[in-house]
Amino acid sequence: MYPFDNKEVGKAGKLRLLYEANPMSFIVEQAGGACSTGRGRIMELKPTGLHQRVPVILGSKNEVERVVGYHKEA
């Protein structure tokens, strides 16, 4: 989990969408898990740049849903 952090507002996340977040999300979802940015599914994001960074939450569906719920409350 590398969630969005308010410490560095200009940085959207820690992992790069195209060659870190997307490949891991694909594998986790194929294994029955879930992946999210805290606001939406990673696999549904359209890249805007080669080195675009995104927050990443991945794991079992129950765990990801719980963390996404925490983000909605905040």
2 — pLDDT class (breaks 50, 70, 90):
confident
For 17-74, the DSSP string reads IIIIIHHHHHHHHHTT-EEE-SSSBGGGPPPSSTT-EE-BEEE-HHHHHHHHHHHHH-
29-59 residue pLDDT tens: 999 999 999 889 999 999 999 999 999 999 9
CATH architecture type of domain 15-73: 3-Layer(aba) Sandwich (3.40)
The domain locations on the chain are 15-73
